[in-house]
Homo-oligomer: A and B are copies of this chain.
Amino acid sequence: MGRRVAVVGIGITRFGRRSDASLSELAFEAGREAIRDAGIEPKDVRFLSVGNVGAWSAEPLPAVLVAEYLGLDNPGSMRVEAACASGSAAIKVAYDAVASGSVDVAMALGVERMNESPTPNVVELIGRAGNYFWEFENFGLTFPGYYAIYATAYMDKYGAREEDIAEVAVKNHYYGSMNPYAQFQRPVKLEEVMSSRYIAWPLKLLECSPITDGAAAAVLASEEVARKLTDSPVWIRGMGYATGTSNLSKRQDFLGLEPAARAARQAYAEAGIDPERPYKQIDVATVHDCFSIAEILAYEDLGFARRGEGYMLLKEHQTYIGGLVPVNLDGGLKAKGHPIGATGVGMAVEAVKQLRRKAEPGRQADIRNGVALTHNVGGTGHYAYVTVYSID
């Protein structure tokens, strides 16, 4: 196996409507913070992976710009894209660059500026992340519709009610209200979620992640370098990834995202986590709640709950702090926001922040085993990346 790799620096911008900053400036905000946090100089970064989808971007080839704004000195660089899992793909590429011995210090930086285009246009472009040729053009589905199919199938099979699924928004807005980087920083009541307008039945406006601008960055280093830089490196202990089918018609069912479950098993095997009871070892998790139902499916795909019982886990507040395994204490995609190329890196930032016990008051998990998990999905399981972080 390759060398051990640690995250030694993190940075993140405020998420939201960021008309005050260009793509390069957003990237600078996060990247500069990560470099400072790592205690290195820009020239030390020898490889840069930029997670960015950018189908709506005026700067469609962003890696060189980001490297230049950050003042890096001729690193290797590229953009990587795996739909809404692009940020985790960037982490994987930076990880491999260090683990392989190619470089000692790499940066994964996710950035997206979705408000460059009018919202309907962005939603349409994201919709193409399905199989455009076979499905999008014929059915015209966009992502609220895709996830609504999962929600209806889940409700039908397991008897979950709309209210049960809507509780995801309540939890994530609650924790988002304590995160100064979140797009939405106000709690919402269940009644408010339930009375918001339908986007694609049974999913309502307050169950959908928003259109977001933002960036996040992580500096990764080899063990030797990490030990010199910090007394508290956070190790990447396991990484799982899978690519599913882009055709809805080929899926076994609409009750879970099979690639996410596969990615979890791979990550657990690498990290030495018991797949039967992962919650015994994982102190805190961020999962891909692009729509409320997606978080429920994630509980089950990750083995936090048995099939059909994910919504019960939430009902019992087992994914709040103090429960079985707290999930999305940063507000999740729902309240923190979902700048799609940045989201996966933002999850890494949150995992490290939690493991360092540096989350803001009220949203810090109890760190016992020193293990955090991130779960990032592109499309509806077109891509899945699950990563396990650990303080030792």
The residues of A with any CB-CB pair to B shorter than 8 Å are 1-3, 22, 24, 47-48, 53, 55, 58-61, 63-65, 67-68, 72, 74-83, 86, 89, 92-93, 95-97, 99-102, 125, 128-129, 131-133, 239, 241-247, 259, 262, 378-379, 382-383, 385
Chain B min CB distance to A343 (Å):
14
Closest 4 CB pairs of A and B: A76-B241, A99-B100, A2-B100, A96-B96
Contact between chains at B92 and A2 (CB < 8 Å)? no
> What residues on B are CB-neighbors of A74 within 8 Å?
242-244, 259, 262
Contact between chains at B81 and A77 (CB < 8 Å)? no
> What residues on B are CB-neighbors of A22 within 8 Å?
133
Are A100 and B89 CB-contacts (below 8 A) given A22-B133, A74-B244? no
Chain B min CB distance to A6 (Å):
14
Contact between chains at B133 and A63 (CB < 8 Å)? no
Are A61 and B81 CB-contacts (below 8 A) given A100-B100, A102-B239? yes
Which chain B residue lies CB-closest to A5?
Answer: B100
Contact between chains at B383 and A64 (CB < 8 Å)? yes
> What residues on B are CB-neighbors of A68 within 8 Å?
243, 245-247
> What residues on B are CB-neighbors of A61 within 8 Å?
53, 81-83, 128-129, 378-379, 382
Contact between chains at A63 and B99 (CB < 8 Å)? no
Contact between chains at A81 and B82 (CB < 8 Å)? no
Are A82 and B99 CB-contacts (below 8 A) given A68-B246, A246-B68? no
Contact between chains at B93 and A100 (CB < 8 Å)? no
Contact with A77, one of B55, B64, B95, B243 (Cβ below 8 angstroms): B243
Contact with A80, one of B78, B102, B382 (Cβ below 8 angstroms): B78
Chain B min CB distance to A29 (Å):
17
Chain B min CB distance to A267 (Å):
11
Alpha-carbon distance A101/B2, docked complex (angstroms): 5
> What residues on B are CB-neighbors of A76 within 8 Å?
92, 241-243, 385
Contact between chains at B131 and A65 (CB < 8 Å)? yes
Contact with A243, one of B67, B93, B96, B101 (Cβ below 8 angstroms): B67
Q: A76-B241, A93-B96 are in contact. List 16 more A-B contacts (CB 8 A).
A: A2-B101, A3-B100, A47-B241, A59-B133, A65-B246, A72-B243, A74-B242, A75-B242, A76-B242, A77-B241, A78-B80, A78-B93, A80-B80, A96-B99, A96-B100, A99-B101
Which chain B residue lies CB-closest to A51?
Answer: B78
Alpha-carbon distance A298/B247, docked complex (angstroms): 44
Chain B min CB distance to A83 (Å):
5
Alpha-carbon distance A125/B60, docked complex (angstroms): 9
> What residues on B are CB-neighbors of A245 within 8 Å?
64, 68
Contact between chains at B89 and A78 (CB < 8 Å)? yes
Contact between chains at B101 and A63 (CB < 8 Å)? no
